[in-house]
Amino acid sequence: MAGPWDGVTGWETAKVQRIVDGDTLIVTDEVTGAPSRIRLLGVNAPEIDTAEHGGRCGGWQAKDALKALLPVGTRVRLASVGRSSLGKNARPQRVVLGWNPQTQDFDFDVAWAMAERGWGLWFTVAREAAMSSLYRQVIAGAQQREDGMWNPALCGTLEQPDARVDLRITRGMAGAAPNDEWVTVRNTGSVAVDLSGWQLRDSGSQGWFTFPAGTSLAPGDYRVVRTGPGAAGSPDPHDLYVGFPRQLYQDVGTGPNLVGDGAYLLDRYGNFRFWREYPCLTYCAPEHQIAIQDLSLGRKKGAKRAATQWVRLVNQGPATACLDGYRLSTGALDYRVGSNTCLAPGATWTLHGGQGAADASNAYWGRSQPALWNSGSIRLVDDLGRVAATRSW
């Protein structure tokens, strides 16, 4: 049976020289005496203020937490798939294992301890993700307990305590433009939510977006925050743009380790208020009772067949279902359902293969070649990777 350290070849031993922030430390190699600036694998702690940038809510608390775990002089073992595993600014990325005097072994996972105390986002690197599923679980516990950075009143006053906001991530196709991915931010509560000055980010520290003044969501209202550049309110009044030059939300891949990402909404004081992390880890039942009611394989050939193909969904549940972040997948093809595709109980929505004018109940893929063949299957999948509906023929 495979273990979390299978494939790990780097096992440097060092002593802690200095704690830089909540996920970075400087160590001295016990063999060579060379100093290294080490970045913890698995978590991303809030930033402290430096000469280059301002700090974030929880930054100094996270640094103090890491200092308490790793006093200067503590022996550590640094584990990685390879010594060449580097992160931002060429910092070595390592799982840091602290020395345990009781067991006389390096069995104290520092990132795990930071995650348990609520001082780190889940942050995965595909090649170095041996412990990522364990970190995700312990972070989920800290979120439920509202420990550390997950305390909604950690910094400043808890504003708009009645706010209820859902985030849904529509990931882009590989190699596509940054605006091919977006996050739908929807008010699911019963009172208006003023997002002026609130910030949206992914699990990294690059794609920050601040909602402009006057961004108020009535119950049921939403905004679509696209990753790339663009003019706010164009082409749809709900559209906003981060202005980042590439996609932010990484693909989960097909490797043996758990890899994913998340979108996080922070209030004006920097408190983490709402978030969405993927893929689904536990309790992965579908969110809505959506079924694929019927489909048509079309008639004739080529573009004519594509134009006469369709797939119809029906909401069999007792509540309105918004399909933000959902996609229909057949073979190697994916159709991402547009934001604000919401079905009342019993309502249907049809995806047509060809061209047409979309409305609340119909969308058009715009294909010139068929998507459905004489035999096959199609699935409706949400943004967490959960299969909501499937049909084979």
Kindly state whether residue 380 falls inside one of the protein's structural domains.
yes
Whether the CA torsion 80, 86, 87, 92 is positive or negative: it is positive
The answer, yes or no, to whether residue 6 has pLDDT greater than 70, is no
Last residue of a domain, one of 253, 278, 303: 278
* Largest interatomic CA distance in the chain: 75
Q: Are 286 and 386 in contact (CB under 8 A)?
A: yes
Provide the pLDDT for residue 281.
85
56 shares its domain with 124 = yes
21 shares its domain with 129 = yes
315 shares its domain with 353 = yes
Burial of residue 52 (CB within 10 Å: 0-12, 13-18, 19+) is: exposed
CATH number at residue 70: 2.40.50.90
Q: Are 8 and 130 in contact (CB under 8 A)?
A: yes
Eight-class DSSP state of 88: G
Kindly state whether residue 17 falls inside one of the protein's structural domains.
yes
CA 272 to chain centre: 14
303 shares its domain with 193 = no
Please report, rounded to a whole number, the percentage of residues in the chain having pLDDT higher than 90: 83
Q: How far apart are CA 80 and CA 7, in angstroms?
A: 9
Strands 333-336 and 327-330: antiparallel
14 shares its domain with 146 = yes
Kindly state whether residue 28 falls inside one of the protein's structural domains.
yes
Last residue of a domain, one of 251, 278, 305: 278
Kindly state whether residue 157 falls inside one of the protein's structural domains.
no
In 3-state terms, what secondary structure has residue 392?
strand
The answer, yes or no, to whether residue 245 has pLDDT greater than 70, is yes
Kindly state whether residue 243 falls inside one of the protein's structural domains.
yes
Please report, rounded to a whole number, the percentage of residues in the chain having pLDDT higher than 70: 94
CATH number at residue 241: 2.60.40.1260
List residues bridging with 108 in a β-sheet: 98
The answer, yes or no, to whether residue 1 has pLDDT greater than 50, is no
245 shares its domain with 323 = no
Provide the pLDDT for residue 350.
98
Angle at 80 between CA 74 and CA 82, to 5 degrees: 130
30 shares its domain with 146 = yes
> Over the chain, what is the mean pLDDT?
93
Residues in CB range of 117: below 8 A, 6 or more apart = 65, 142, 147, 148
Listed range (53-57, 132-136, 228-232, 351-355) with the worst mean pLDDT: 53-57
Domain span including residue 203? 165-278
Q: Mind spelling out the 3-state secondary structure of 45-96? A: CCCCCCCCCCCCCCHHHHHHHHHHHCCCCCEEEEEECCCCCECHHHCEEEEE
pLDDT tens-digit map of 162-206: 999 999 999 988 889 999 999 999 999 999 999 999 999 999 988
Provide the pLDDT for residue 10.
61
Residues in CB range of 68: below 8 A, 6 or more apart = none
243 shares its domain with 117 = no
Q: How confident is the model at residue 318 (pLDDT cuts 50, 70, 90)?
A: very high
Strands 362-364 and 348-352: parallel
Q: Per residue in 331-353, is it b (16+ CB within 10 Å) or e — as a string?
A: eeeebbbbbbbbbeeeeebbbbb
261 shares its domain with 300 = no
Provide φ and ψ at 304, rounded to 5°: -70, -40
Q: How far apart are CA 255 and CA 244, in angstroms?
A: 27
302 shares its domain with 273 = no
pTM of the model: 0.93
- The structure tokens listed for 174 are 């590989």
271 shares its domain with 344 = no
Kindly state whether residue 312 falls inside one of the protein's structural domains.
yes
Q: How confident is the model at residue 256 (pLDDT cuts 50, 70, 90)?
A: confident
- The structure tokens listed for 299 are 């008639």
Kindly state whether residue 1 falls inside one of the protein's structural domains.
no
Q: Are 193 and 222 in contact (CB under 8 A)?
A: no
Provide the pLDDT for residue 336.
96
- The total of structural domains in the chain comes to 3
267 shares its domain with 311 = no
| Torsion angle (degrees, nearest 10) of CA 134, 138, 140, 143 | -160
Q: How far apart are CA 313 and CA 321, in angstroms?
A: 11
Last residue of a domain, one of 95, 126, 150: 150
One-letter identity of residue 1? M
Kindly state whether residue 339 falls inside one of the protein's structural domains.
yes
Cis ω for the linkage preceding 279 (within 30 of 0): yes
